[in-house]
């Protein structure tokens, strides 16, 4: 509760009462009535009102977000060098007064959009880039008064610090920073670098004058209609170029895919052919080996071929037709008498080839 305000309210009530009693006394006196007691009450209330007024004039209560600069008629410099801190304070009534300053965070916005900024209408910062393009910058400066430098702010700026310091410095520093970059850098690649440069320079300027920069917000950047149209056309051209590049890359990928498919098919044909050739070689090697084994078997047992031939004949066959003029040689064993004993003087004759003549079929007479 602000005690100083309560005292001021009580003082006002006392003075109203004194004035009311004075009016009442005048009316009674005009009617010839006695006013002695009322005069005494008026005198007492007037003395009390003067005392309370003096006390209330000397009491100052400051909120936590406030600091007070004491302007003094009795101080050598005309002010106290130390600012009043939050709480209740006593000053010399009628010889000193207090100027209050807010140390809480404040925001000053400069915007192109009506109603967003501190100034009505278009209050954006007009700046020109290094390559001569004109742009419009919307920005917000978030700051506060340094509690340790409130007296200095009062001496240098009083209540003009927002318009004459914050506004003027932020607009000038923004223009200087923008002039060092090309328009494309401001918009895209170096926007954060631009904002940081403005923040650092503005923070130094405000600190030198008793303010603390909390943040500098680069809200928006707009262009002239002519440049905006050219940027839009460039973006469209870039998008079309990107689309064409994408189509080319897609065609390259499709061609590469087709080449890989063809290469795969060719490789498959080669592998298949190689497999078939290897199979033929293996089969030929197996047949050669089999023939070699058969040749060895025949060499060791000549009758094996005759046995194999006979075993392939159908059972019960008695007649065979062979060409008439071509002898059909088949070394068959001789079915003769039993072999002579070992004491027989003559050796067993060798088997002779069997010749089977094919009978000549005479044509049948036609009746």
Q: Which of 223, 246, 268 is the last residue of a domain?
A: 223
Burial of 355-364, coded b for 16+ CB within 10 Å and e otherwise, reads eeeeeeeeee
Inter-residue contact 324 to 357 (CB < 8 Å): yes
In a domain, 352, yes or no: no
Confidence of residue 101 (pLDDT cuts 50, 70, 90): very high
Query: Which of residues 269, 296, 323 is at a domain's end?
Result: 296
pLDDT over 70 (residue 349): no
Which of 274, 296, 318 is the last residue before a domain boundary? Answer: 296
Residues 97 and 164 in one domain: no
Residue 330 pLDDT greater than 60, yes or no: no
Task: With cut-offs at 50, 70 and 90, classify the pLDDT of residue 316.
Answer: low
Q: How far is it, in rounded angstroms, from Cα 152 to Cα 105?
A: 18
Any domain includes 137: yes
pLDDT of residue 342 exceeding 50, the answer is no
pLDDT band at 305 (very low <50, low <70, confident <90, very high): low
**Domain harbouring 118, CATH code:** 3.30.479.30
| pLDDT per residue as tens digits for the range 21-37 | 888 888 877 877 777 77
Average pLDDT over residues 131-150: 93
Q: What does the DSSP 8-state code read for residue 84?
A: B
Q: Which two tokens stand for residue 337?
A: 């008498």
Q: Do the domain assignments include residue 336?
A: no
Residue 259 CA from chain centroid, whole number: 37
- Do 164 and 272 share a domain, yes or no? no
How many CB atoms within 10 Å of residue 281? 10
Backbone angles phi, psi at 251, to 5 degrees: -65, -40
Given a cut of 70, is residue 217 above it in pLDDT?
A: yes
Concatenated DSSP letters for 10-35? HHHHHHHHHHHHHHHHHHHHHTT---
Residues 173 and 202 in one domain: yes
Domain range for residue 130? 106-223
Residue 260 within a domain: yes
Joined together, the tokens standing for residue 18 give 């004194």
Specify the number of domains making up the chain: 3
Task: Judge whether 120 lies within some domain.
Answer: yes
- Residue 316 belongs to a domain: no
């Amino acid at each position: 509760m602000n005690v100083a305000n309560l005292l001021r309210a009580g003082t006002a009530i006392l003075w109203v009462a004194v004035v009311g009693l004075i009016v009442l006394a005048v009316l009674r006196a005009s009617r010839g009535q006695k006013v002695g007691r009322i005069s005494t009450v008026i005198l007492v209330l007037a003395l009390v009102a003067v005392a309370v007024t003096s006390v209330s004039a000397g009491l100052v209560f400051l909120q936590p977000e406030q600091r007070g600069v004491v302007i003094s008629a009795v101080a050598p410099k005309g002010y106290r060098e130390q600012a009043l801190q939050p709480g209740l304070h006593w000053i010399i009534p009628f010889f000193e007064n207090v100027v209050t300053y807010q140390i809480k965070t404040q925001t000053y916005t400069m915007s192109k959009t009506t109603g967003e900024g501190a100034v009505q209408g278009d209050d954006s910062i007009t700046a020109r880039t290094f390559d001569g393009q004109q742009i419009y910058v919307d920005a917000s400066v978030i700051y506060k008064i340094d509690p340790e430098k409130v007296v200095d702010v009062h001496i240098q700026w009083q209540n003009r610090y927002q318009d004459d310091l914050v506004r003027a410095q932020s607009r000038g520093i923004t223009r200087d920073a923008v002039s060092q970059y090309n328009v494309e850098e401001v918009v895209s690649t170096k926007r954060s670098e631009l904002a940081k440069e403005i923040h650092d320079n503005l923070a130094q300027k405000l600190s030198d004058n008793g303010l603390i920069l909390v943040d500098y917000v680069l809200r928006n950047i707009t262009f002239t209609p002519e440049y905006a149209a050219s940027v839009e056309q460039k973006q469209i051209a870039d998008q079309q170029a990107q689309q064409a590049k994408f189509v080319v890359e897609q065609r390259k990928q499709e061609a590469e895919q087709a080449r890989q498919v063809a290469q795969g098919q060719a490789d498959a044909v080669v592998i298949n052919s190689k497999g078939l050739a290897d199979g033929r070689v293996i089969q030929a090697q197996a047949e050669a080996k089999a023939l070699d084994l058969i040749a060895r078997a025949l060499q060791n047992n000549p009758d094996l071929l005759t046995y194999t031939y006979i075993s392939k004949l159908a059972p019960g066959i008695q007649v065979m037709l062979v060409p008439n003029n071509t002898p059909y040689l088949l070394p068959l064993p001789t079915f003769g008498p039993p072999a002579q004993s070992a004491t027989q003087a003559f050796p067993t004759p060798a088997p002779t080839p069997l010749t089977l003549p094919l009978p000549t079929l005479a044509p049948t007479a036609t009746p």
